[in-house]
Amino acid sequence: MMIFDIADRDVCTVKRTISNTPLQALVLLNDPQYVEASRVLAENIIRKEKNKKQRLNAAFRITTGRMPDQKEENIINTFYDGELVNFRENKEKALAFLKTGNKKWDKNLNPTEIAALAVVVNSIMNTNEVFTKN
**3-state percent breakdown (helix, strand, coil) of the chain, nearest 5:** 65, 0, 35
Q: What is the mean pLDDT of residues 74-92?
A: 97
Q: Which residues of 1-16 are buried (b: 16+ CB within 10 A; e: fewer)?
A: eeebeeeeeeeeeeee
Q: What is the mean pLDDT of residues 106-132?
A: 90
Over the chain, what is the mean pLDDT?
Answer: 85
* Confidence band for 34, pLDDT divided at 50, 70 and 90: confident
Q: Whole-angstrom Cα distance, residue 19 to residue 131?
A: 10
* Confidence band for 31, pLDDT divided at 50, 70 and 90: confident
More confident residue, 132 or 95: 95
What is the identity of the amino acid at 59? A
pLDDT in tens, 39-55: 999 999 999 999 999 99
Question: Following DSSP, what letter does each residue of 69-81 receive, concatenated?
Answer: -HHHHHHHHHHHH
* Confidence band for 130, pLDDT divided at 50, 70 and 90: confident
Question: Following DSSP, what letter does each residue of 28-60 receive, concatenated?
Answer: HHH-HHHHHHHHHHHHHHHHH--SHHHHHHHHH
Give the model's pLDDT for residue 6: 56
* Confidence band for 19, pLDDT divided at 50, 70 and 90: low
Give the model's pLDDT for residue 5: 52
Cβ burial, residue 69 (10 Å; 0-12/13-18/19+): exposed
More confident residue, 100 or 131: 100
